[in-house]
Structure 1
């Protein structure tokens, strides 16, 4: 793998959250093939394609986002993706935030949608990192902990 796990995680996170934000509140099928170009390899034992290391990484990223409260889904198909995925309140609140450096302007969600469409993976990853930081601050504020 050429990119670090954190960089890859941020890229996938940005793409996934951007896709869900763009379609909110309508549930969406998070398909492995829509987010990872080379997510499948031929598996002789199965007699067909199966998620490879990159595909498994995608599933791990989405599982973490769900366990951390950014998104939810109705059902997981371990071979293809997540049925009826949607943003949670925490995910939506983090994506609706505006960067501190900009008092007005596009929200993180709007920036993710735009960056995803332009194919700028480094920008998607950067914005995703900021969204996760906002999500952490949201949780600590709700719990009354110092942020």
Structure 2
């Protein structure tokens, strides 16, 4: 079965959020290597330029647009080009514990585990939960209940 763009977004967004959550509050450069989707060492030309594979370049572009969207919606803060950290909303959402009485695993931990295991259906559901929690945090911040 072919992966839809939304499925791909969920997968990439989960990896992006995991990477920035693990390094919070330090801003990090987001690319396929830093979020753990591809381990590729680029070739170096005689002019000192890096050459990446087409797959790496295409994935890097998708990561860029995913992170841009997450930043525009208030979940990430872009410090400079392709360098991000969690916003307050993103941090609160990742630290959310759905049912503290039955466990202390945060949503960030759940996203990290599901993403690492390649559980796409679970990752998708967790991304829906993350976006929903974030929307609630944003509306409360704006005084809208």
Q: State if a TM-score over 0.5 links the two structures.
A: yes
Say if 1:22 and 1:113, in contact at 8 Å, map to a contact too. no
Instruction: Please give the secondary structure, in 1, of the residue aligned with 2:3.
Output: coil
Q: Does 1:67 align with 2:72?
A: yes
Instruction: State the Cα distance separating 1:34 from its structure 2 match.
Output: 4.3
Say if 2:27 and 2:85, in contact at 8 Å, map to a contact too. yes
Say if 2:7 and 2:120, in contact at 8 Å, map to a contact too. no
CA distance in 2, matches of 1:7, 1:135: 19
Structure 2: tracts of 5 or more residues without a match? 40-50
CA distance in 2, matches of 1:15, 1:125: 12
2:8 maps to 8
Over 3 Å counting, the alpha-carbon distance change for 1:31 and 1:11 in structure 2 is same
2:62 maps to 57
Say if 1:15 and 1:124, in contact at 8 Å, map to a contact too. no
RMSD of aligned Cα (Å): 2.8
Q: Does 1:97 align with 2:96?
A: yes
Instruction: State the Cα distance separating 1:62 from its structure 2 match.
Output: 0.8
How many aligned residue pairs are there?
Answer: 131
CA distance in 1, matches of 2:114, 2:8: 15
More strand by share: 1
Structure 1: tracts of 5 or more residues without a match? 39-47, 77-81
Q: What's the CA shift string for 1:59-85, capped at 9, x where partnerless?
A: 211110111111123322xxxxx23x2
2:45 maps to none
Alignment TM-score, normalising by the size of structure 2: 0.74
Alignment TM-score, normalising by the size of structure 1: 0.73
Instruction: Please give the secondary structure, in 1, of the residue aligned with 2:30.
Output: strand
